[in-house]
Amino acid sequence: MRIMVDADACPVKEIIIKLAKKYELEVHMFFDNSHVYKDGYSTVYILDKGADSVDYALINKSFKGDIVVTQDYGVATMALSKRAYPINQNGLIYNDDNIMSLLTQRATNQKLRKHKKMKGPRKRTKEMDIKFEQSLYLLINSKL
């Protein structure tokens, strides 16, 4: 088991590294080339900014049993098809039961955004970090 991270906009990288070190898990961080990142622990991949290049590189390097941290429902869907375990930055563990409704909601929201201005995402809270850490901890322990 490894932890694969869609890291461009990932706000929980430090939590991932903390738990990975505790359980001696490899971490692979995927960024586009507008980022520079070093944490001294992760394997870091810097990819061209091409459309979805980070997403495809992450999925191509993922295997059955890996944990995939992403907020992208498309990446989560591809991870599920590889029998990996996708989780988002707020601790939601994607699965075959919830991914279709999430994809449908995303499509609906895209249509709404075309017709009216919508608010951006909520400001990140400490509670979100705690929820993510708890969910990642449970996911790691259930798969070891």
The model's confidence at residue 129, banded by pLDDT at 50, 70 and 90, is very high
Q: Which of 116, 68, 115 is nearest to 95 (CA)?
A: 68
* The pTM of the whole model exceeds 0.85: yes
The model's confidence at residue 91, banded by pLDDT at 50, 70 and 90, is very high
Q: Which helix (H) or strand (E) holds 67?
A: strand 67-69
CA-based radius of gyration for the chain: 15
Residue 108 has pLDDT above 80, yes or no: no
Q: What is the DSSP letter of 26?
A: E
Q: What is the DSSP string of 72-138?
A: -HHHHHHHHHTT-EEE-TTS-B--TTTHHHHHHHHHHHHHHHHHS----PPPP-HHHHHHHHHHHHH
Return mean pLDDT, the chain.
91
How confident is the model over 106-131, as a mean pLDDT? 77
Contact 67, 136 (CB under 8 A): yes
Cα–Cα distance measured from residue 94 to residue 71, given in angstroms and rounded to the nearest whole number: 10
φ, ψ at 49 (rounded to 5°): -75, 5
Check residue 138 and give its pLDDT: 97
- Given this structure, which CATH class describes domain 2-118+128-143? alpha beta
Residue 53 has pLDDT above 70, yes or no: yes
| CA–CA distances in Å: residue 126 to residues 12, 15, 91, 130 | 11, 12, 12, 6
Least confident of 17-21, 40-44, 111-115, 131-135: 111-115
| 3-state secondary structure at position 40 | coil
How confident is the model over 36-58, as a mean pLDDT? 92
Q: Indicate the domain borders of the chain.
A: 2-118+128-143
CA 26 to chain centre: 15
